Structure formats: C-alpha cells, structure tokens
Amino acid sequence: MNLEFIVKWPIIASYDVLKLEMTILDYAVFSILAISIVLSIVRGMVRELLSLVSWVIAFMVANSFVMDFIRILPLSITGESFRMLISFSALFLSTLLVMSMLTILVSSLIKTAGLGLVDRFFGALFGFVRGALIVLLMTLLAGLTSFPQESFWEKAALRKSLETAATIAAPWLPYDLSKQINYKN
C-alpha cells in the first residue's frame, strides 16, 4: 500500500491540483520543488551528491577531532564552550572548504568526459527527490503546529496528498514525536 501511494502520488497530486483552487501552501510546495530541481540541473548530480557527502564528512571530522584541536588553540581564547565552538567551527569549515575544492575538481572532470548532460538529467531527478523530502519534512513539522487548522492549509489542493505522505512517514520518527503529529481539527 505504501509503495503504491509513492508511485501514484504525482498523479494523485496533479488531479487534486486540477480540481481545487490553489493556496499559498500549494504554491510553496511547487516553488520548493522547482527551486530544488533547477539548482540540481545547474549543479548536476555528481556535484549535488559530493556536496551532501562533504557536509557529512565535515561534521564527522569536526566531531571526531574537536577535543584534539582545542589543545592547539591559543590560551587567549577563554571559556571552554567558546573554545569548543571555535574548534568545531574551524574544523568543520576547513574540511568543507577542502571537500568543496575536491567537488569542483570531480565535477569538471565529469564535464570534460562529456557526461554533463547525463549528470544534469540525474541532477534533476536528485533535485525532485530532495525537494520532495524537504516538503515532507515541512509537512511533518506543520503537523506539530496549528497550521493544519488554518484556512490556507485546509483549502490547499495538495493537502490530502501531503498529509497522507506525512502519515506514512510518521512511524519512522521517534514514537513520542510521531504521536504528536496531528492534521485533524
């Protein structure tokens, strides 16, 4: 049933949009998807994936070596929390910078190899998936607020599709959090 919904979602959502008046929520969803797709087409899938991996690696490096880096900071930087913040930030940003240079290098090699069009096509697919995940996250977060009771939400053409997707995803969240998500009045 869940897989069936995932496959049919674009058709269901299109039908919902055609038969109902759109609200700010619908425009926001389409804007998020469009921006994500366009950015990914411009950047390409390889660059998008390496960028995502770069953030994960930067976090892991900063988290793993923060205590070692604190020891080499000047003693003029006082306060343990501040020293930790400086250390973590320096490691995170420097790792992100190195990974960004590597990403640019690999991306240029892909273009040189003549795979730019394929890279951009898969970038568009990546952008759609990323945009859909952002919309799903925002829908889950909205279920923790009073937004679902607002008229812009209740009258949205995509409301049923968004709520169904969030309801399917909610069991993957921590139980205490998922039981607080509510789209009913």
Tens-place pLDDT, residues 74-123: 888 888 888 888 999 999 999 999 999 999 999 899 888 988 899 999 99
> What percent of the chain stands above pLDDT 90?
67
Domain count, the chain: 1
Residue 52 inside a domain? The answer is yes
DSSP 122-173: HHHHHHHHHHHHHHHHHHHHHTTSSGGGSHHHHT-TTHHHHHHHHHHHGGGS
Q: Which two tokens stand for residue 92?
A: 């995170």
Q: What is this structure's pTM?
A: 0.71
| Confidence tier at 135 by pLDDT (50, 70, 90) | very high
**What does the pLDDT read at residue 26?**
95
Quote the Cα angle for 94-43-108, to 5°.
Answer: 75
Task: Give the C-alpha separation, 15 to 9, whole Å.
Answer: 10
| Confidence tier at 184 by pLDDT (50, 70, 90) | confident
| Confidence tier at 177 by pLDDT (50, 70, 90) | confident
Helix (H) or strand (E) holding 10: helix 2-19
Residue 155 inside a domain? The answer is yes
Q: Please determine, for residue 178, whether its predicted confidence score (pLDDT) is greater than 90.
A: no
Residue 165 inside a domain? The answer is yes
Residue 162 inside a domain? The answer is yes
Q: Please determine, for residue 10, whether its predicted confidence score (pLDDT) is greater than 70.
A: no
> What percent of the chain stands above pLDDT 70?
89
Residue carrying the six token digits 């690999």: 106
What residues have CB less than 8 Å from 154, skipping those under 6 apart?
A: 148
58 touches 100 (CB < 8 A): no
Residue 67 inside a domain? The answer is yes
Look up the domain containing 109 and give its range: 23-179
Residue 108 inside a domain? The answer is yes
Task: Give the C-alpha separation, 80 to 78, whole Å.
Answer: 7
